[in-house]
Amino acid sequence: MNAHLPILPVLAPFVAAVLLLAMRDLPMAARRWIAVISVLAQIAITVALLMAVAGGEILVYRLGDWPAPWGIVLVADRLAAWLMLTTTLLALFAVIHAGDGTDRQGRHFHVLFQMQLFGIAMAFLTGDLFNLFVAFEILLIASYGLLLHGGGPARVRGGLHYVILNLIGSTLFLFAAGLIYASLGTLNMADIARQAATVAPENLGLARAGGLLLFAVFALKAALLPLFLWLPGAYANTTASVAALFAIMTKVGAYALLRADTLLFGPDSGALADLYEAWRLPLALATLATGMIGALAAPNLSRMAAWLVIASVGLLLTAFSADTAGIAAGLYYLPHSTFAAALLFLLAEAFKRRRPASADFFAPERDLSRHALWGGLFFFAAVAAAGLPPLSGFLAKLMILRAAQWEVWVAILLAALFGTIALARAGSALFFSTRTVEPPPPGAPALLVDQRPGEAADPPSGPRELAAIFGLVGLILALTLAAGPAARFADTIALQLSTPELYIHAVLGGSEK
């Protein structure tokens, strides 16, 4: 059964999407149940996959039974399984939140949602560079449909920037793949790693150019400086459940950079070894600083959350730029930052509904300080996003600081300070900055300080909204309480990445399907 596990995370969302598309006349309640059951099945498959590779085994599935490097292969190692688990857990609470009414704003929401998961799974599990390009295209098409779900000029404007830049990235990806194939004669990742060590001198320039173009493409997907300008407008203007799912999208680019850096252009790649070394750390630190400055200047909570996503990418790639211990710290930080950003997007939507005039903008309106539930949830999310103790973000930053050089400490600690200030400002504006009202005329009933004449009552919290929010809270708490096992597993992932010959042998060494 283990031999077929690598293809199941790819097949499950694709089959669900086809099923939902074929039965488009089903009532929305039935479509929601199918979507949730599908994601639960994907979680179960991913857990089985994680258990199968936890001991160090690398599973290879040959599509069409063509041996590598001639055929396309799916490869499941610890890294792919870890990221798949993060994705499916996030997707569960995003799809539950969408069932609170978001999925009714446009057609085929759940079809696009499942196709998004299909593309993400393919990106994490493929062992072929061209198949990675196909996965990116599936992600682009599905995410563009989800981004515009519900319509509106702000979403169209943000989506236009998103799709144009990503189409440029797709074009560059094709050029990069062509240059690598012309110089190395293969697009299989394991074979690229093997051929890179013996590339002919006359082909070295082409191979370098192809590798650097890949860096640009992956940096665009990860929202690395200066290729992040599409992200704030896109994430801040879409629906909360879509933005929550999109919190994993930048991690796809970060994953691709990590995979290329450790496998394609690793230390054993001869003249192509450490091709990205001169670019990784400076751009990562610049992205971290820019993201935190953007969070400080953000006018509302959803845009602040988008800038914090950018900052988290900077910190993640800073960790990946260190040694094996830094990669392990980054892999522990990755699910935390993903869940924390998603939680902020869901809370921003909740505050928009409860502040009808100002939405989630940092402007005085209703006094939310009496809402202990929402105040507590925002405080928890702020602590998580800022990386303050005692949550997993603080533990991850300690691990990153231990692995980083002392020169990097200043940037990380200053970024943490800016993030704390930005989130404290947001909490003060949302919960304690009230709009005063005129005193009532004699004989008229007094108004509450947070209520204006004609203002609607506080909308009730739907069960799906609360389930999604508390689900993300639970994931962050679980990552904190299980910090020891999770960090040790991240160490094993980093160790496996540091020995790329294991991956190469698993793919090219005659593994049976």
Mean pLDDT per 10-residue interval, the chain, length 513 residues: 85 94 86 93 96 93 84 93 97 92 82 95 94 92 85 73 86 93 91 88 90 93 89 88 93 94 86 85 94 93 94 94 91 96 94 80 66 88 93 93 85 91 90 56 43 50 87 96 95 94 86 39
Query: Can you give the pLDDT at residue 404?
Result: 82
Residue with tokens 């519900």: 150
Closest CA to 311 of 202, 386, 209: 386
Phi, psi torsion values for 232, nearest 5 degrees: -60, -45
Predicted TM-score (pTM) of the model is 0.91
Helices (H) and strands (E) in the chain, counts: 20, 2
HSE-up of 123 (CA within 13 Å, CB side)?
30
Give, in order, the Cα–Cα distances in Å from 495 to each of 77, 198, 491: 12, 25, 6
Type of residue found at 240: A
Q: Tokens standing for 20?
A: 């939902």
Query: What b/e string do you get for 472-502 counting C-beta neighbours within 10 Å, with b at 16 or more?
Result: bbebbeebbeebeebbebbbbbbebbeebeb
**Nearest-angstrom CA–CA distance, 474 and 472:** 5
**Tokens representing residue 54 in the block:** 């936890």
